[in-house]
């Protein structure tokens, strides 16, 4: 019996299977980026009048710029400028340190219920995730994708373990498993596990499933974090 030949055939089959997986992942990545560009571009164009209304309402409600920019950490630890409609008072970043003792989330993330920094209009746009819409520009630029781990703050990444850093292996996203899976009711380690689960399961079906469930969460008025 030619065991050497049989072993060689097994190795060859495994290599072919690995090559096929690599090609599928490469094709998925290219198509996903193409869809990100097209959908974000047309989304920005179609939503422009709505954006102008939101900007005016935010400026009337409280002082400060209507579009809030912040440094976030993206793929492979690369920092980028992250866009949101401002939902908090103009000096919210400074007040964060003063409120740190009220943090209700474990790990490096920060979250408190009934955050006093949130404005009246801010509460509404956060409730329906409208504040996240400027991230369509981040997606168009290539900083983010529609689906992927939520981009963290630099101060949070500084506290990451090697396990936590795995969530930076791909582009951050507008929505992810965490967004549709209880959000504030899970630990930070479970949040990271969800992101790693997504990285391992990345596919068009997974993206579509998460994207559609995100609309359900938004319309259920659970808001965004």
Written as tens digits, the pLDDT of the chain (225 aa) is 555 565 556 666 666 767 777 888 899 999 999 999 999 999 999 999 999 999 999 999 999 999 999 999 999 999 999 999 999 988 877 877 778 767 766 677 777 878 889 899 999 999 889 999 999 999 999 999 999 999 999 999 999 999 999 999 999 999 999 888 866 668 889 999 999 999 999 999 999 999 999 988 887 765 444
* pLDDT, position 224: 47
Could you count the other beta carbons within 10 Å of the beta carbon of residue 7?
Answer: 10
* pLDDT, position 184: 60
Cα–Cα distance between 184 and 105 in angstroms, integer?
Answer: 7
* pLDDT, position 206: 95
**Helices marked H in 72-225:** 92-99, 120-127, 135-141, 154-157, 188-201, 204-219
* pLDDT, position 147: 97
For residues 180 and 220, the answer to whether their CB atoms sit within 8 Å is: no
DSSP 224: -
* pLDDT, position 61: 94
């Amino acid at each position: 019996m030619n065991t050497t030949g049989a072993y060689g055939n097994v190795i060859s089959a495994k290599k072919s299977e690995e090559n096929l997986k690599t090609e599928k992942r490469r094709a998925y990545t290219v198509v996903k980026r193409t869809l990100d560009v097209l959908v974000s571009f047309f989304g920005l164009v179609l939503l422009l009048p709505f954006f102008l209304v939101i900007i005016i309402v935010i400026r009337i409600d409280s002082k400060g710029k209507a579009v809030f920019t912040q440094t976030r950490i993206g793929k492979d630890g690369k920092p980028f400028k992250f866009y949101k409609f401002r939902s908090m008072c103009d000096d919210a970043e400074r007040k964060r340190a003063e409120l740190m003792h009220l943090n209700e989330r474990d790990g490096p993330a920060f979250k408190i219920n009934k955050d006093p920094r949130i404005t009246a209009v801010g509460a509404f746009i956060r409730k329906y995730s409208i504040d996240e819409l400027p991230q369509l520009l981040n997606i168009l630029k290539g900083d983010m994708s529609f689906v992927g781990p939520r981009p963290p703050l630099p101060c949070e990444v500084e506290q990451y373990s090697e396990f936590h850093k795995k969530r930076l292996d791909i582009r951050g996203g507008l929505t992810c498993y965490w967004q549709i899976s209880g959000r504030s009711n899970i630990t930070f380690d479970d949040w990271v596990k969800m992101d790693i689960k997504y990285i391992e399961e990345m596919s068009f079906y997974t993206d579509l499933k998460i994207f559609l469930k995100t609309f359900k969460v938004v319309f259920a008025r659970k808001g965004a974090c």
